[in-house]
Amino acid sequence: MRATASVLVALLVVLAGCSALTGSSAPDAETTAPTETMQTTGEPTTTTSDGGDGSSAPADPEEDVIGWEDGYWYNESISVDRSDGLNDSELDRVVSRSMARVEEVRGLEFESRVPVEIISREEYREQVQSGNTTPENRLHQNVKWEAMLMVDESTDAIAVQNRNFAGGVGGYYSPSQEQIVIISDSETPEMNEVTLSQELFHGLQDQRFDIGSFNQSTQELHNARDGIIEGDGNLVDQLYQERCESDWDCLMPQGQQGGGGSSDIHIGLYQVSFQPYSDGVLFVQQLYEQGGWDAVNAVYENPPASTEQTIHPERYPDEEPNYPTIEDRSSGEWEVLDLEGGIDYASFGEAGLYVMFWYPSYETTQATGQLTDVVIPYRDHLNYDGQQLNQTDPFNYDHPITDGWAGDRLLPYVTDDSMSTNETGYVWQTEWDSESDASEFADAYRDLLDHHGAQAVSDRPNTFAIDDSAEYGDAYYVVQQGTTVTIVNAPTVDDLSGVRSGAGTTNASVVAA
């Protein structure tokens, strides 16, 4: 899936003193990629789309070959009339030629045709908002993003994520339905062929590499696997667009396309999911330079295990994550939030932790109108190429505070009243490559708490409290033991030991680690 990036980038660079990026892509909650609605100044209605290289397409082959699909070569002219949108036969022609072009660019053959549907932005928004979410999963998401200090206790994290998807997505491929949906922002549904090409490639990935079977059960695993899924997809997208700009005539939206409400995007959540779209392309490019498409194809047999491996490609595949196992040491009314049929924990990885430490700089900068650095500096996230953002890899996710991540796991805790009050707790353990890495993370996390108004609790070692009137008004316990940093959260200081025995007590130096 890809998502609209132009408004996002404008928001990030406006106070940083650089030129805006004009094209990139972003993420979704499924295994594949949202697609950006390209902003173009297209020509008036056309009736013929030429192959564009000036050559005549050869006769149809006797059997299916790369660069030919359903009667159309990649460089063949097609006849369409877009004055009232594409009818079914015109859409079929566009899809067939685009499939042939994806094959030509990537050197892989489709096994079967991928159905394509065009819907309006409003239809997609209704689909997203009507999705079924259990109360337990809604609470789980609230705990996750409150722990990241991005969505406060009074805000529905599912609703925030839905606004991100509904406003920014331009297209997606569904592995479960084996279908592509293209989202149009115009009254008359229009085709963006570059958007179509990436979603077709996701269908090709699923046919050839079974990406729908990848374990993407946590935010970290989702981003890690997307390092190859979206990295490969965005590289194909770039190569396809280069051909459109040089020797192919491609169907693009006519006139300026709306951003789909991208100003409603929550930048923090969005940037966590954006990482594979930014770092993934360079990850795949390096593989291609080392061994061609064969080297890229081989990665699907052993996809990235962490975002660390795509932020630092030299660590793939040898540096495996070390996810901690959290022993349940709760007592009294507190218990682990059980998700029937799902996993009861979360993980954010190096990418997620980077954004957690960067987001306050963005949030404060936007609130004050002045460039402000809190923990990770605002401009550190912007990957400059001269005076402009790098077009391929616009965002940086590498910083000494989070470099050295080895694994993390967050376990939400609830009481019988949590469904109605949204009062929750959690135990979050992070593992680091060295004790100094762990110390650097713990110090930065305490700085983050301080930014949100936390005060040390007297006579309670490693214990902090944020006033109830503040956004993240809770109690926090932060302790390092060797290469492990444990964070315990609860509504009050007295509740900390209920979530994890020993936390927040007078002798809580390391007992709750």
Q: Over the chain, what is the mean pLDDT?
A: 88
Residue 175 region by backbone torsions, left for phi larger than 0, else alpha for psi between -120 and 50, else beta: alpha
Q: Which of 73-77, 109-113, 161-165, 271-275 has the lowest mean pLDDT?
A: 161-165
On whether the CB atoms of residues 277 and 27 are closer than 8 A, the answer is: yes
In tens, the pLDDT along 111-128 reads: 999 999 999 889 999 999
Q: What is the pLDDT of residue 336?
A: 98
Percent of the chain with pLDDT over 70: 86
In tens, the pLDDT along 398-448 reads: 999 999 999 999 999 999 999 999 999 999 999 999 999 999 999 999 999
**262 falls in which pLDDT band (50, 70, 90)?**
low
Look at residue 198 and tell me whether its pLDDT is greater than 60: yes
Q: Please report, in angstroms and rounded to a whole number, the separation of the first and last CA atoms in the chain.
A: 40
DSSP 170-190: EEEEETTTTEEEEEE-SSS--
- Residue for token digits 């900068």? 365
In tens, the pLDDT along 361-389 reads: 999 999 999 999 999 999 999 999 888 88
Look at residue 31 and tell me whether its pLDDT is greater than 60: no
On whether the CB atoms of residues 268 and 150 are closer than 8 A, the answer is: yes
Q: Which of 40-44, 306-310, 316-320 has the lowest mean pLDDT?
A: 40-44
Q: What is the pTM of this model?
A: 0.91
Look at residue 36 and tell me whether its pLDDT is greater than 80: no
**Burial of residue 279, with CB atoms counted within 10 A of its CB: 0-12 exposed, 13-18 middle, 19 or more buried:** buried
In tens, the pLDDT along 70-89 reads: 999 999 999 998 777 888 99
Q: Over 342-364, what HEC string results?
A: CCCCECCHHHHHHHHHHHHHHHH
Q: Where would I find the beta strands (DSSP E) of 107-178?
A: 116-120, 169-174
Best CA proximity match to 21, nearest among 33, 7, 1: 7
